Structure 1
Amino acid sequence: MELIKEIYEKDIGYDGKNSENIYKLRKASRAIILNDLGEIALLYVSKNKYHKLPGGGIEADESIDIALNREVMEEVGTDIRVLGEVGVIIEYRDKFQQLQISYCYYTKAVGETSKPAFTDEEIDNGFLLKWVPLDKAIDILKNDMPDNYVGKFIRNRDLVFLNKTIEILNNIS
């Protein structure tokens, strides 16, 4: 999978430095999910005023694809078929001494869609599922103003994934 970007604190408006360069690794899977109407799933984190792509952490005993399917079922309530790779983004979250690697795929929703099964933390953060056209999703994220550290990384990361997806889909057509 292609590495499409590395995101540092300077990219989100922070000057912090992890002088020890010690990071705890977190791997995550993300999905751009297309439905039959050509819309994609987008999660709104109302507590911190930003949107994000469905996905999350890969547990120790999981492969990327198993984690991807689990996260999508939990957050969107649908099964998916992977259509292709978008790419990898590495985030250096110095404040938490965390190195996050996100693997993103573009997918198609298949079968019936059920209600998301948000975790207590996601409920507390005010997660809401939306379906919007891909170009509108980009506009939404461009206009988001996350009020927290993690949200700023997520906004930056997911905008790159969305723009890369448009590039990929335009090359297919």
Structure 2
Amino acid sequence: MAAPAFPAPKVIGTEKADVSYTDRQAVRVVAFNPNGDVAIVYAKRDNYYKLPGGGIEPHEDHETAARREFQEETGGVIKLRSSNCMATTKEFRFHLRQVSYCYVADLVDDTGEPNLSDEEIEDGLGHLWVSVEEAKRLMAVAEPRSEFGRFVKERDIYLLDEATKGGAAEV
């Protein structure tokens, strides 16, 4: 079976020849509830909004990582609409070279509780469900207080735009 094809990534940041990078792969999820609202995560400490998601563990495929990360950050259970990745980014920040893969999903169960790491608790992470338009607005008007938050803002605005282009991800 052929390896999946991924969309060409949007590059964020600049790759520097004199930097030794750690490679990381991650997933991001544009998940819809039955009302057509999308889940976003607010990071209170650094004042930015992001899509649920995070790093892919060595033993995980993209779908498994997407389901785990979504559950950890929101408590919800999702089902990917497709194994097709909707958009990708390639980020160069600090000593990290990260590729993020974005998938569209539907909420299956929202009765669980988030399982945040200590760092995520310190960051003040909390999720909310809003319309796609409101998610884009909140992401755009947020003024991150850190360089990391600015990278996340650029990445996730792009991924949300790509995943919802032309109504492709509507409920």
Q: What is the TM-score when the length of structure 2 is the normalising length?
A: 0.88
Q: Distance in 2 between matches of 1:104 and 1:78?
A: 17
- Residues of 2 paired with 1:80 and 1:120: CA distance? 24
Looking at structure 2, the residues matched to 139 and 172 of structure 1 have their Cα atoms a distance apart, in angstroms, of: 17
Tell me the alpha carbon deviations over residues 89-143 of structure 1, each in whole angstroms, 9 at most, x when there is no partner: 10011xx221010011011001343121111111111011111001110000110
Partner SS for 2:143 = coil
Of residues 31, 50, 66 in structure 1, which corresponds to 2:64?
Answer: 66
Q: Distance in 2 between matches of 1:124 and 1:142?
A: 23
Partner of 1:83: 81
Report the 3-state secondary structure (helix = DSSP H, G, I; strand = E; otherwise coil) of the residue aligned with 2:113.
Answer: coil
* Secondary structure of 2:86 counterpart: strand
SS at match of 2:79: strand
1:29–1:57 Cα contact (<8 Å) kept: yes
Give me the CA root mean square deviation: 1.9
Q: What are the equivalent positions in structure 2 for 1:1-173 lying under 5 Å apart?
A: 1-8=6-13, 18-84=16-82, 85-93=85-93, 96-170=94-168
Give the letter aligned to residue 89 of structure 2. Answer: I
Query: Structure 2 vs 1, CA of residues 140 and 171 (structure 1 numbering), >3 Å: closer, same or farther?
Result: closer
Shift of residue 4, structure 1, vs aligned partner: 3.9
TM-score of the pair, normalised by structure 1 = 0.88
Report the Cα distance in structure 2 between the residues aligned to 1:171 and 1:102, rounded to whole angstroms.
18
Q: Distance in 2 between matches of 1:43 and 1:22?
A: 30
Contact 2:102-2:163 at 8 Å conserved across structures: no
Does the 8 Å CA contact 1:18/1:97 hold for their aligned counterparts?
Answer: no
CA distance in 1, matches of 2:31, 2:145: 26
Equivalent residues of 2:36, 2:170 under 8 A apart: no
Unaligned runs of 5+ in 2: 1-5
Distance in 2 (CA, whole Å) between partners of 1:103 and 1:47 is 25
Give 1:59 deviation, angstroms: 1.3
Segments of 4+ moved more than 2 angstroms? 168-173
- The alignment of Structure 1 onto Structure 2 pairs a total of residues equal to 164
Report % sequence identity: 32
